[in-house]
Chains A and B, each alone.
Chain A
Amino acid sequence: MTTVAITPMNEQQHTGQTPKTLGLNLVWDKAEKAKVKSVLAKYPKGRERSATIPLLKLAQDKCGGWLPVDAMQLVADTVNEPYIRVYEVATFYTMFNLKPVGKFHVQVCTNCACLIRGSDGVTKAVKDIAGVDSSGATSKDGTFTFTEVECLGACVAAPMMQIGTHYFTHLTEEKTKDILNHLKEGGDPLKYADTPNAASDPLHNGDYEEHV
């Protein structure tokens, strides 16, 4: 994963200018090219546009968890669509971040089943540890971004949160704190995660990698 530095040019993203006019130019590296190829192979010839969402995910991973304008341009070029077609997709779906996120993007479900089972405590724990007070905020040191999200489909194990690709379920305020501290200290998320042991990557069917 290459981390794209947040330069002033990137910060003035999404101002209506396309990356081409900004003179930005991001490319897939060799390993990524192989992944792109196997993503595209899932769809019929001439239907490359279908790969927009999976490729945006690859691009987001490449950029450390968010989508600067040049990442979207890269996807647009890959699927032979104008920039706007990719931009409108990136803004439509909640899993695409148009702003940088922290090292751990903590997404807490506060929908019905989680609310009933105590998501207030989970939210409080995340806010306390991250030192933030609202959804969408990132801790000062850049470690955690806290986002309130909709039902993530683990309601019988409520309350729950997602960090990276992993689900953490049956939470309490205490357990949430333990998990976040554990991650902050560099601990293995799988110690707490309620998640299948992943082996092959569902995007491109290559080796599985940890995601932001």
Chain B
Amino acid sequence: MPKQTVPILKQEEKVFQNLEGQDDWSLAGYKKRGGYKGLKKLLTTDRIKHIEKMKESALRGRGGAGFPTGMKWSFMPDPAKTGKPSYLVCNADEGEPGTCKDRDILRYDPHTLVEGMIIGCYTLAAKTGYIYVRGEYYDESSRLQQAINEAYEAGFLGKNIQGTGVDVDIHVHLGAGAYICGEETALLESLEGKKGQPRLKPPFPAGYGLYGCPTTINNVETIAQVPPILKNKLEWWTQHGRPNNHGTKIFSISGSVNRPINVEAPMSIPLKELIETYAEGVIGGWKNLQAVIPGGSSTPMLNKGEAGKVLMDFDGLREYGTGLGTAAVIVMNQDVDVLRVMTRISAFYKHESCGQCTPCREGVGWVYTLMKRLSNGEGTVEELEQLQKLTKKIEGHTICAFADGAMWPVQGTLRCFKDEFERRIEAKEEVA
């Protein structure tokens, strides 16, 4: 029997009170948990005040890049001046290997997102919001659509919401299987019915986004966190996490742990505590740990020593040359062939490159080939050096961050497991 989760966060401290699906997902259940309470007040408060409070909360985007949400929102022009509609687009194209938090929000607590979209649209003076969900989440989107329908029926969506004069419509848009569409400008292209190839920035979406109109794109978790941040006292949010890293966060803990889980925990929690408290520890105990990928496949791995010390927030992970990313913690113990896993991740990037920039289209494939040879012990010492150099030639030479994200894990592997690569090269030579 799995042990009971240690409740570090009390229920009322959580944004996602039904993340594990133990309770009713529907409008009735969400309202019982306090949802939609105070919505009317928020829709009649000056929207500039909301942006100010978001800035004070120091909420940083939960989709990977960690950009301050309040600041992003402040870039949006006033539609009265632009004469164009503004849009809020929710990025639910969750595809970063290891990441699966949005799926549980959509199927177990979809109203957190719906309420966030309503308040978000109001704050950005957008009358229409799109939720771009990865196409594979078909059943999950169905659940989300039901939640939206419920909200319409209850008068939380549509024209003149709760008599406030605010109009908001939300539409679900399904993707069709392309990791790159998680990149915000590729997502917009895809939403416009095109191939998902990132746009050159600037112009940024706040100036020229969906259909050439001012647009803000935020991750599911980020948008869902907005209502409770605005409704509660600032301290409710800032009591967790270090300055500039405040709040709570969903961590997806997968791989070699006793109980893989999606869990909302305070930011800045030590990685070791996170794994031992919520995921019931590494299989075979902490001593059996080999490496941890801390924030989804794009973030460089940590070795066991580092994993025992690091704090799980944006700045804490940066100190170790990696990042919080999507906070998808992938644990690998001694039973795992780390080089095989990392080669598989390189294969993923090869498959998902959109093909627009040459260094990425060609280079990511080369990197995969080298990774494969080296991890099978077929490579040479020269190739090992070549691989390192190659990653540096690709990183930073493309129009979006995809290629960087494809190179970082390889660089991380070379840093932590260079001796293992060498051992395999030698072993092969001996056989020959």
* A-B complex is real: yes
> Are the C-beta atoms of B178 and A94 separated by less than 8 Å?
yes
Chain B residues in 8 Å Cβ range of A94: 176-178
> Are the C-beta atoms of A151 and B98 separated by less than 8 Å?
yes
Q: Would you give the 0/1 interface string for B347-362, flagging 1 where the beta carbon is closer than 8 Å to chain A?
A: 0100110100000000
Least Cβ distance of A55 to chain B in Å?
Answer: 9
> Are the C-beta atoms of B149 and A116 separated by less than 8 Å?
no
Which of the 9-residue segments B34-42, B167-175, B375-383 touches chain A? B167-175
Chain B residues in 8 Å Cβ range of A79: 193
A165 to B5, CA, bound (A): 31
> Are the C-beta atoms of B145 and A205 separated by less than 8 Å?
yes
> Are the C-beta atoms of A150 and B179 separated by less than 8 Å?
yes
Known: A156-B262, A202-B172. A115 touches B344 (CB 8 A): yes
Q: Which 6 A-B pairs have the closest CB atoms?
A: A202-B141, A52-B193, A93-B176, A198-B142, A165-B138, A94-B177
A23 on interface, CB distance cutoff 8 Å: no
> Are the C-beta atoms of A205 and B149 separated by less than 8 Å?
yes
Q: Would you give the 0/1 interface string for B380-410, flagging 1 where the beta carbon is closer than 8 Å to chain A?
A: 0000000000000000000000000000000
Chain A residue with Cβ nearest B256:
A116
Interface size class of A (residues with CB under 8 A): 35 or more
> Are the C-beta atoms of A156 and B254 separated by less than 8 Å?
yes
B67 on interface, CB distance cutoff 8 Å: no
Chain B interface (Cβ within 8 Å of chain A)?
A: 25, 85, 94-100, 102-103, 107, 130, 133-146, 149, 171-179, 190-196, 211, 252-256, 260-262, 293, 297, 328, 330, 332, 336, 340-341, 344-345, 348, 351-352, 354
Give the most central of A94, A151, A157, A203: most B CB within 10 Å. Answer: A151
Q: Which of A50, A95, A156 contacts B193 (CB 8 A)?
A: A50
A57 to B94, CA, bound (A): 19
Q: Main secondary structure on chain B at its contact with chain A?
A: mixed
18 more A-B residue pairs beyond the given contacts A57-B176, A89-B193, A208-B142, with a C-beta to C-beta distance below 8 A: A43-B171, A49-B192, A57-B174, A92-B178, A94-B177, A112-B97, A112-B255, A113-B254, A115-B340, A117-B254, A117-B255, A150-B352, A153-B99, A156-B253, A158-B254, A158-B260, A196-B140, A202-B174
A154 to B261, CA, bound (A): 10
> Are the C-beta atoms of B260 and A155 separated by less than 8 Å?
yes
